[in-house]
Amino acid sequence: MCSEGLANVAKYAEASGVRIEVAATGSRLLVRVADDGAGGADSARGSGLRGLADRVEALGGTLSVASRAGVGTRLEAELPIGGEWSP
C-alpha cells in the first residue's frame, strides 16, 4: 500500500509533499497515503489502483480513494489485524 502509493505520487502527482500515516485501532490497521499534488486519480482509468484495491480486499480489507483535481490524492486502507482474515 505505502510503496505503491509513493510510486504513484512520484509518477503522476507532481506533488510537493506526501504523508504516510499508519495506526492500529483495536483489531484494525489503518494506512493512509496522502499527497498535495494534481489529484484526479481514477481507478476506472487504469489497473494500478484497481490492482491495489484487489490486494487489500484479498486480505479482508477495504481501500478508498479520494482525489479531487488540484487538491491531491488520499488513499486509505483498513485491514484486519490478527486472526480475522480467512482465505
Give pLDDT, residue 82. Answer: 79
Answer yes or no: is pLDDT of 87 > 60. Answer: no
Using a 10 angstrom Cβ sphere, with 0-12 exposed, 13-18 middle and 19 or more buried, the burial of residue 8 is: buried
Contacts of 30 (CB under 8 A, 6+ apart): 21, 22, 23, 24, 76, 77, 78
Give pLDDT, residue 83. Answer: 61
Cell for 34?
A: 496522502
Q: pTM (2 decimals)?
A: 0.87
Question: Maximum distance among all alpha carbons in the chain?
Answer: 40
CA distance 19 to 59: 23
User: 2-80, superfamily in CATH?
Assistant: Histidine kinase-like ATPase, C-terminal domain (3.30.565.10)
pLDDT digits (tens, 9 = 90+) for 26-69: 899 999 999 999 999 887 777 789 999 999 999 999 999 999 99
Answer yes or no: is pLDDT of 78 > 80. Answer: yes
